[in-house]
Amino acid sequence: MKMLVGLGNPGSKYEKTRHNIGFRFLDLLAKTEGLSFGSAPRFQADTATTTMNGEKVLLVKPQTFMNNSGESVAPLAKYYDIEPSNITVIYDDLDLPSGKLRIKSGGGHGGHNGLRSLNQHLPNADYTRVKIGIGRPPSGDITPWVLGGADEGDHAVELRLFDALLPQIPLLILGERDKAANKIHQTLQS
């Protein structure tokens, strides 16, 4: 079994914030696949299950708030016996400009509190990261930026990235990161 995690904060207050880009992507994927999320209170998560390329895939939206995402993801991974290398995490990245997307495996948290929590609770940090750029604010504190709503331009850029990423999720699930990244890049260049 594989796990696809979208990071965000629960509740309608946060739905449209930059920080909830992972939740929005999983919502789009679920809609495309005809899935609906159900509550898994034991794991503090909303989950859905599907099959891609013959692999069973658990979609996870932690309901612990971003900074405690590992408290949801790690128990689910343990329960379903999913190694970190079989987990893909989609999240916002301040250090990437809006409209950019990067895929990598393993590494540190880079100051992202959701990843910090995952790294603390999972046995290792070998999961795949799909970083979706939100850019940094022109000045000042980053908290109002990440918890602020994206404007119409940001929304259009987000949808363009989602359209490029969505068809490549089956490749990512199979561990074909480079192939998926190349196809996404080609789509975004056209």
Pairing of strands 101-105, 87-93: unpaired
State which residues form the domain around 53. Answer: 2-189
Q: The domain spanning residue 166 has which CATH number? A: 3.40.50.1470
Instruction: State which residues of the chain have pLDDT below 70.
Output: none
Residues 6+ apart with CB under 8 A from 116: 67, 109
What was the pLDDT predicted at 118?
Answer: 97
pLDDT tens for 75-94 read 999 999 999 999 999 999 99
Q: What amino acid is encoded at 180 in this protein?
A: A
Whole-angstrom distance, CA of residue 90 vs CA of residue 130: 5
Are 137 and 4 in contact by the 8 Å Cβ rule? The answer is no
Instruction: Tell me how many domains the chain contains.
Output: 1
CA 178 to chain CA mean position, Å:
18
How many CA atoms lie within 13 Å of 190's alpha carbon, on the beta-carbon side? 8
How much is the pLDDT for 148? 87
| Active site residues per annotation | 19
